[in-house]
A and B are shown apart, each in its own frame.
Chain A
Amino acid sequence: MNGEPLNYLNNGHGIRSWLLTKDHKRIAILYLISVAFFFSVGGVYALLIRINLLTPGGVFEPDTYNRIFTTHGVIMVFLFLVPAVPAILGNFLLPIMIGAKDLAFPKINLLSWYCYVFAGIFLVVAIVAGGVDTGWTFYTPYSTSYSNSNVLLAGIGIFIAGFSSILTGINFIVTVHTMRAPGMTWFRLPLFIWAHYATALVIMLGTPVLAITVSLMALERVAHVGIFDPAMGGDPVLFQHMFWFYSHPAVYIMVLPAMGVVSELIANMSRKNIFGYKFVAMSSLAIAVFGFLVWGHHLFVATQSVYLGIIFSFLSYAVAIPSAIKVFNWTATLFRGSISYDTPMLYALGFIFLFLIGGLTGLFLAALGIDVHVTDTYFVIAHFHYVMVGGSLMGFLGGMHLWWGKMTGRMYPEFWARAATIVQFVGFNLTFFPQFILGYLGMPRRYAAYPPEFQTLHVLSTAGASILGFGVAMTIFYFIWSLKYGKRAPADPWGAPGLEWRIPSPPPTENFTELPVVTWEAYEFASVPELKEAEAAASNG
């Protein structure tokens, strides 16, 4: 109102118009608020972990510490990393990018958010009622026979969170298959869409296995027939196989969408077609497929046969190929591009740098001999935080900056955003690089106390975590600030070719007033009619 044109934000007011919305853009905002909430909770628990590790003796009781790191892991994995990019950016952008009015099943989309909320409630109740102490992996027989914490509640929460992912995944796959605008062929899809399509495949094939694994764990906890208890003839490693059959591909659920975001950031911020578009698109699918064949590398020291170990080791190396294709093609895109160092680009460069370290240390871990040395040490922690935080979080935040104007109608403050990005980058490296060294020296993960000679590195890491936390808080703060005081966002602040930039910011409820017809390739800057006109006007003037 206020004379503003009708858009999805002011089309309908009041809490009901939000809680019962079927608009994919509003559901994305609901997800944004709830995911940001759980991210903050998980972040507070991360800081508690770092506070405990400031001194060799620890601050908390070991039993409390177990609950702290479990809470951090469960919340960050199931309530932040898995839904963050797909459910927020994917939900908002996927229909717009392919020229559709909405996702295929809007009610299922809303149901997915409610599943997420209920999952969150179960997990919060589990935490408030005393927490869970099994680690986010719920390894048996500890989780089924010995832990006296709220494993059941947490298990139910994860089961429901799985439904939330599956419903989002179905929507993405069906929408991409059936609702592309005229002229939007498969190889004209933005790489963001390819990445989300691949992610949806992994979600659909992996999540049900997690659901049944958690169900079996919970039922065993009730019945105690010893299905995972070696003392009664059960096989605890079966649980590990089933758990990692989901949870390793889940790593790709977390990082593939972020890779899709980075492709958009790099293309739009260097104003060039992505080098080797088809290779980048296909590498997403390759990662999705290979991702299902490597779970055994989590079981190198868990009685798995050496021969099986060799195969899994080899396959784990193989995943590096499609990942490297992406990184090489992104850097090749930068070559001779007209690069802008605005915030989205800083995040993209940060992603490439951190993901490179995370990916390469992944190769160390895929090597059987080194893995035996560093299994369950801080080396592993540092590795997956480089991929998950350095990769997924950086990709997510980069995407939030690129599309913030589109989502809210307001631009973020460029200076503060660049400052925050740099603070986060420094803080992140200071937090996790020392952990590589700690792990290599033998500091085990999940220990509440450690020998005094590790203290310097732990203090560095805690200092880094504070800086990282401060940087993220800056971002949250200026995002909220910009809602009121930010500059109004034009339809296309970046001069980008995607369909989402052809409609107003924020978009109207129906996305497109008339059906778009796509006549250009994904990143063909010169071929978009509006961009051509603008360029002609500029050269004439």
Chain B
Amino acid sequence: MSTIETDTAHGHGGAHADRHPNLVHHFDDMEQQREAGTLGMWWFLLTEIMFFGGMILAYTVYRHMYFDAFAHGSNVLSIWWGAFNTVVLIGSSLTMAMAVWHAQHGNSKKIVFFLLFTIVLGSIFLRVKYIEYHDKFTEHVFPAGSFQWPIVHESNRPNNLGDLLLMLVWIEPLNTDQSASGAVAEKAPAMEKAPTAEMEQGPAMRGEIDRTMQDQSFAGHVRMYFWLYFVMTGFHALHMVIGIGLLLVLAWQANRGKFSKEYHSYIELTGLYWHFVDIVWIFLFPLLYLVDRHL
């Protein structure tokens, strides 16, 4: 909430010589000002919970109705990318918490360092998200436009940490061809050869699933899954972008020595926001990536 009152007490400072320069005119003391900001942020986060809650409700209803389609959709996502991003975001929460800690102790240089560290981790998250979105477009599972199911040509997926790091910096993995064809070869049979899956998984339903897979309606339900995937991760990514924007402003301000032991509530409030966005992802990751992974 970057819009919280930032003015210094112009015109009122004279009357109250001992007022902190960052204390806004309508508050009595710094404690009251800080309490108001914190309470406001917590209430704002409550509205955010209700906002994401609406999406999670819609997801839950359709996952219940079309579980098999959702499972097939989920298995297209790369668990490597998702898990890596989860680790990155949790790491960014740690660096954010460090920034807040240093703000509370008035170490301006450390604040800047940890805010920038947090920004870097947030950007890595968005970079991965970009790769994943890009893959979904080329695989024609983006829910608007030329949606196609089943996938004809699957994009590269990282199969180990090394691949993942290479792909992160836009370098194709060394064994591109094998891993690409390998991925299709691994996936494709699981989808087409019903009996194998049936024997492995046990439930007789598997055959049923694979028959209905041919249906138009099954493809339509997978499309619903991807629509929800894009809506939920899209709104989450939007929050990340806003968060990085806030952090950039804070890092700039901290560098100019704006914050002190007495006055650093913006950093705390942005920290609350950042942790919240992190927690949203911790819900989204299992909901979207981990549906029936042993398909």
Q: Which residues of A contact B (CB under 8 A)?
A: 22, 100-102, 104-108, 111, 166, 169-171, 173-175, 177-179, 204-209, 211-213, 215-216, 219-220, 222-227, 232-235, 238, 242, 510
* Given known A107-B4, A108-B1, A208-B48, contact A223–B25 (CB-CB < 8 A): no
* Given known A105-B40, A108-B1, contact A178–B35 (CB-CB < 8 A): yes
CB neighbours (8 Å) of A107 from chain B are 3-6
Minimum CB distance partner of B227 in chain A: A225
User: Cβ of A225 and Cβ of B224 under 8 Å apart?
Assistant: yes
Name A105's contact: one of B4, B52, B61 (CB within 8 Å).
B4
CB neighbours (8 Å) of B57 from chain A are 238, 242
* Given known A104-B36, A174-B40, A174-B43, contact A213–B26 (CB-CB < 8 A): no
CB neighbours (8 Å) of A215 from chain B are 231, 235
Say yes or no for B101: interface residue by CB 8 A criterion: no
Say yes or no for B8: interface residue by CB 8 A criterion: no
Q: How far is the CA of A405 from the CA of B143 in the complex (A)?
A: 58
User: Cβ of A178 and Cβ of B1 under 8 Å apart?
Assistant: no
User: Cβ of A208 and Cβ of B54 under 8 Å apart?
Assistant: yes
Minimum CB distance partner of B54 in chain A: A212
Q: Mark B206-235, 1 if CB is under 8 A from A, else 0.
A: 000000000001001101100110010001
* Given known A111-B3, A227-B227, contact A216–B36 (CB-CB < 8 A): no
CB neighbours (8 Å) of B27 from chain A are 179
* Given known A108-B3, A219-B231, contact A233–B54 (CB-CB < 8 A): no
A selection of 20 A-B contacts at a CB cut-off of 8 Å is A104-B36, A104-B40, A105-B3, A106-B5, A107-B3, A107-B5, A107-B6, A108-B1, A166-B47, A170-B44, A204-B46, A206-B50, A207-B47, A208-B47, A215-B235, A219-B231, A225-B227, A233-B66, A234-B224, A238-B58
Name B61's contact: one of A173, A174, A208, A238 (CB within 8 Å).
A238
Q: How far is the CA of A216 from the CA of B55 in the complex (A)?
A: 8
* Given known A170-B43, A204-B47, A209-B51, contact A216–B58 (CB-CB < 8 A): yes
User: Cβ of B224 and Cβ of A233 under 8 Å apart?
Assistant: yes
User: Cβ of B25 and Cβ of A178 under 8 Å apart?
Assistant: no
Q: How far is the CA of A478 from the CA of B55 in the complex (A)?
A: 48
Q: How far is the CA of A169 from the CA of B1 in the complex (A)?
A: 15
User: Cβ of B58 and Cβ of A233 under 8 Å apart?
Assistant: no
Say yes or no for B204: interface residue by CB 8 A criterion: no
| B window 125-177: CB within 8 A of A | 143-144
User: Cβ of A178 and Cβ of B32 under 8 Å apart?
Assistant: yes
Name A233's contact: one of B46, B65, B231 (CB within 8 Å).
B65
Number of chain B residues whose Cβ lies closer than 8 Å to a Cβ of chain A? 42
User: Cβ of A208 and Cβ of B58 under 8 Å apart?
Assistant: no
Q: How far is the CA of A205 from the CA of B44 in the complex (A)?
A: 10
Say yes or no for B39: interface residue by CB 8 A criterion: yes
Say yes or no for B53: interface residue by CB 8 A criterion: yes
CB neighbours (8 Å) of B51 from chain A are 208-209, 211-212
Q: How far is the CA of A224 from the CA of B32 in the complex (A)?
A: 49
Name B144's contact: one of A111, A207, A222 (CB within 8 Å).
A222
* Given known A216-B55, A233-B217, contact A177–B39 (CB-CB < 8 A): yes
User: Cβ of B54 and Cβ of A227 under 8 Å apart?
Assistant: no
In angstroms, how far is the closest chain B Cβ from the Cβ of A532? 28
Q: How far is the CA of A209 from the CA of B47 in the complex (A)?
A: 8
User: Cβ of B36 and Cβ of A227 under 8 Å apart?
Assistant: no
Q: How far is the CA of A226 from the CA of B231 in the complex (A)?
A: 14
* Given known A105-B4, A235-B65, contact A174–B26 (CB-CB < 8 A): no
User: Cβ of A216 and Cβ of B54 under 8 Å apart?
Assistant: yes
The 7 residue pairs across chains A and B that have the minimum distance between CB atoms: A212-B54, A101-B26, A208-B50, A208-B51, A102-B26, A223-B144, A208-B47
In angstroms, how far is the closest chain A Cβ from the Cβ of B32? 6
User: Cβ of B58 and Cβ of A174 under 8 Å apart?
Assistant: no
In angstroms, how far is the closest chain B Cβ from the Cβ of A21? 13
User: Cβ of B40 and Cβ of A225 under 8 Å apart?
Assistant: no
CB neighbours (8 Å) of A205 from chain B are 46-47, 50
* Given known A105-B5, A235-B61, A238-B58, contact A174–B53 (CB-CB < 8 A): no
CB neighbours (8 Å) of A178 from chain B are 32, 35-36, 39
User: Cβ of B220 and Cβ of A232 under 8 Å apart?
Assistant: yes
Q: A171-B40, A227-B58 are in contact. List 12 more A-B contacts (CB 8 A).
A: A102-B26, A104-B26, A108-B40, A175-B36, A179-B32, A207-B47, A208-B48, A209-B51, A213-B54, A223-B144, A225-B227, A242-B54
Say yes or no for B113: interface residue by CB 8 A criterion: no
CB neighbours (8 Å) of B235 from chain A are 215
Q: How far is the CA of A505 from the CA of B221 in the complex (A)?
A: 63
Minimum CB distance partner of A511 in chain B: B26
In angstroms, how far is the closest chain A Cβ from the Cβ of B23? 12
User: Cβ of A223 and Cβ of B40 under 8 Å apart?
Assistant: no
Say yes or no for B84: interface residue by CB 8 A criterion: no
User: Cβ of A209 and Cβ of B50 under 8 Å apart?
Assistant: yes
Say yes or no for B62: interface residue by CB 8 A criterion: yes
In angstroms, how far is the closest chain A Cβ from the Cβ of B202? 27
Name A100's contact: one of B26, B44, B49, B53 (CB within 8 Å).
B26
Name B53's contact: one of A170, A179, A209 (CB within 8 Å).
A209
